[in-house]
Amino acid sequence: MSLMNGKNLFDVSGKVVLITGAGSGLGEGYALAFGEAGSTVICAGRNQSRLDNTVRQIRENGGAAKAYTVDVTDLDSIQAMVAAVAADHGRIDVLVNNAGYEHIQPFLEVTPQVYDDIMNVNMKGVFFVAQEVAKVMKEHGGGKIINIGSLGSFIGLAESSVYCSTKGGVIQLSKTMAIELGPFNIQVNCLAPGYFITPMTQPFYDDPQHRQWIESRIPLHQWGTTLDLAGPALFLASAASNYVTGETIKVDGGWLAS
Ligand SMILES: NC(=O)c1ccc[n+]([C@@H]2O[C@H](COP(=O)([O-])OP(=O)(O)OC[C@H]3O[C@@H](n4cnc5c(N)ncnc54)[C@H](OP(=O)(O)O)[C@@H]3O)[C@@H](O)[C@H]2O)c1
């Protein structure tokens, strides 16, 4: 008896994969990974030239990609972007809900403006991008949503009170979405990265004390690379994870094991 009938359970070729924040950091990494895996990569974000750069790299590697501008804090902008992607590509198979924002500030100094700025991207933006994409997935018989958590989904991080609040919220949101969207064959899971060097975390890497604090807590003794997130992302996007939903995969070099 054959279990898989020769099928590659991890195959994501031909899938339409929408990635927010695809112009930099981890989003660019997911985009390159899906491009190399043969997906049609939809690179979404605010900065057109950075998105174009990601698209160019994917095409140079022989992949298919297109850039769409969106501000995830603006509901009209989200609706317009998702409608354009659905019209151009017919469906959306996978969402990597990656766009995020952080502003380090002591709790006692957080202003309402900074609170709103972080909440609007990391919580409200994640929520309404997922909602809009899920409507398209429901119409087309299913899909995979990958929301992005953090170490801050599980532990407190000093001077990151708003960020950690949003990242904790993303995990709870994902569980609720998994319950409600399961009947439509939409799996909703989270990736929770540890520390990866990107524009967001470069200041921590450049600060010797902060960097030492981080590195001393990682059992695998090094910062993650975008390649380290590619495998878990491809797994959550593929048929290999069809019975996994409402779950979070920590990709943190072992930090949270201790
Ligand atoms: N780096 C890490 O170690 C780490 C660890 C845990 C979790 N994460 C999470 O991983 C995700 C990516 O972070 P990163 O480290 O790659 O940081 P990054 O390089 O600063 O990327 C953030 C991305 O979000 C996009 N973005 C921000 N505001 C947006 C808005 N209003 N509308 C649309 N796009 C917006 C930006 O694109 P535009 O500038 O083009 O708008 C940018 O490409 C975030 O959710 C972050 O919280 C990162």
- Please name which of 26, 9, 13, 24 lies closest in space to residue 228, comparing C-alpha atoms: 26
- Its pTM stands at 0.98
* β-strand pairing of 64-69 with 40-45: parallel
pLDDT tens profile 209-247: 999 999 999 999 999 999 999 999 999 999 999 999 999
The active-site residue, picked from 115, 163, 195, 243, is 163
Alpha helices in 37-160 (DSSP H): 48-60, 75-89, 112-119, 126-139
Average pLDDT over residues 20-36: 98
**Alpha-carbon distance 123 to 116, whole Å?**
10
Tokens of 69: 């501008």
Q: Is the confidence at residue 39, as pLDDT, over 90?
A: yes
Residue 224 CA: nearest ligand 1 atom is 3
Read off φ and ψ for residue 182, nearest 5 degrees.
-50, -45
CB 57 within 8 A of CB 24: no
Residue 152 CA: nearest ligand 1 atom is 6
Residues at CB less than 6 angstroms from ligand 1: 20-21, 23-27, 45-47, 50, 70-73, 98-101, 121, 148, 150, 193, 195-196, 198-201
Residues of the chain above pLDDT 90, percent: 99
Up-side HSE of residue 158: CA atoms within 13 Å toward CB?
4
For the chain, the average pLDDT equals 98
Rg (alpha carbons) of the chain, rounded to whole number? 18
- By most ligand atoms within 8 Å of CB, the mutation choice from 98, 103, 217 for ligand 1 is 98
**Which helix (H) or strand (E) is 68 found in, with range?**
strand 64-69
Q: Is the confidence at residue 134, as pLDDT, over 90?
A: yes
The protein residue with its alpha carbon nearest to ligand 1, atom 19, reads 25
**237: CA distance to ligand 1 center in Å?**
20
Residue identified by tokens 């990242």 is 167
Average pLDDT over residues 168-181: 98
Tokens of 120: 């609007």
Q: If pLDDT is split at 50, 70 and 90, which confidence band does 195 have?
A: very high
Helices (H) and strands (E) in the chain, counts: 9, 7
**Alpha-carbon distance 94 to 110, whole Å?**
35
Domains of the chain: 16-251 (3.40.50.720)
Among 2-6, 60-64, 143-147, the least confident range: 2-6
**Alpha-carbon distance 119 to 167, whole Å?**
10
Tokens of 149: 């958590």
Q: If pLDDT is split at 50, 70 and 90, which confidence band does 1 have?
A: confident
Average pLDDT over residues 49-74: 98
Residue identified by tokens 């030492």 is 212
CB 53 within 8 A of CB 60: no
- By most ligand atoms within 8 Å of CB, the mutation choice from 198, 226, 248 for ligand 1 is 198
**8: CA distance to ligand 1 center in Å?**
31
The pLDDT assigned to 224 comes to 98
Residue 96 corresponds to which amino acid?
V
The protein residue with its alpha carbon nearest to ligand 1, atom 7, reads 150
163 is catalytic: yes
